[in-house]
Amino acid sequence: MCTVTFVPTQTGIFLSSNRDELVLRKPATPPMEHQYSFGKILFAQDGEKGGTWMGAHENGNIMVLMNGAFERHKRQEAYRESRGIIFLEIFNGPEPVRNFDTIELNDIEPFTLVQWQQNSSSLWEMRWDGQSKFIAEKKPDLPQIWSSAMLYDKPVIQKREQWFDKWLQEGHNFNFQEIMKFHEFGGEGDEMTDLKMNRNGILKTVSITVVEALTNEFVMHYHDTISGERFKNEWRHK
């Protein structure tokens, strides 16, 4: 939930996420289908709060959450609800952007959402900074990277954008293996800022999720970087 990439291909798109979390947090369960009022959602479930940071809906939509909005914020002692639960409330429906626009977010910690809208092949960025909502449509034909403002300052975010641009220019076949490799090994060997990060063994990248969306199906690849386990879910969407 702290590094996200979007990569379009000739046959679909990849939306991928590194989840950076305290290692003492209860581990997430691997991706499973969960039934909601507007259909099934495939996601790995947070072990403490029961929410998630990335999901794929049977309607073809995909969405991912990052902590923070535009800049590092001072955290309150407590919030009304976890962002992972808010994620599912927003994602449960045919148009998450509309849900985000109407949901009440007072007393919710700042966050950023990146969402692929399958029926219109559109890409959306939604941010809540604790006071206001911001919605932007992004270009769906351009690869993009996001880094959490809570963990990385602007110079590091810019450096990561340079790593991403260099990786794109190397002429990779944009498949699951290459994207997973970038999310696992991208960087310059500094664990504090590399895509797969480790800050003194306290805060680490605990999982990497890569979702490939095709015309009628998607594939979710989930790598638990703590246990080393890997999971693959293939799903035809409506």
pLDDT in tens, 132-177: 999 999 999 999 999 999 899 999 999 999 999 999 999 878 999 9
- Predicted confidence band of residue 74 (pLDDT cuts 50, 70, 90): confident
Phi-psi region of 86 (alpha: psi -120 to 50; beta: other; left: phi over 0): alpha
Average pLDDT, integer, range 214-218: 90
6 pLDDT band, cuts 50/70/90, is very high
Residue with tokens 């979390």: 21
Q: Which two tokens stand for residue 206?
A: 């605990």
Q: What is the pLDDT of residue 56?
A: 97
Evaluate if residue 1 carries a pLDDT over 90. no
Q: Answer yes or no: is pLDDT of 61 > 80.
A: yes
Give the closest residue to 225 by CA, choosing from 208, 211, 237, 209. 208
Nearest CA to 23 among 206, 185, 228, 234?
206
**For 8-34, b where at least 16 C-beta lie within 10 A, e where not — what string?**
beeebbbbbbbbbbeeeeebbebbeee
Residue 91: pLDDT over 80: yes
Does the pLDDT of residue 26 top 90, yes or no? yes
Tokens for 36? 């909601």
Q: Which domains does the chain have, with CATH numbers?
A: 3-236 (3.60.60.10)
178 burial via Cβ count (<10 Å: 0-12, 13-18, 19+): middle
Q: How confident is the model at residue 190 (pLDDT cuts 50, 70, 90)?
A: very high
Is the per-residue pLDDT at 188 higher than 90?
A: yes
Write the CB contacts of 126 (distance below 8 Å, at least 6 apart in sequence). Answer: 96, 97, 100, 112, 113, 114, 115, 133, 134, 135, 136
Q: What is the pTM of this model?
A: 0.95
Query: How sure is the predictor about 236, in pLDDT bands with cuts at 50, 70 and 90?
Result: confident
The pLDDT score that the predictor gives to residue 146 is 98
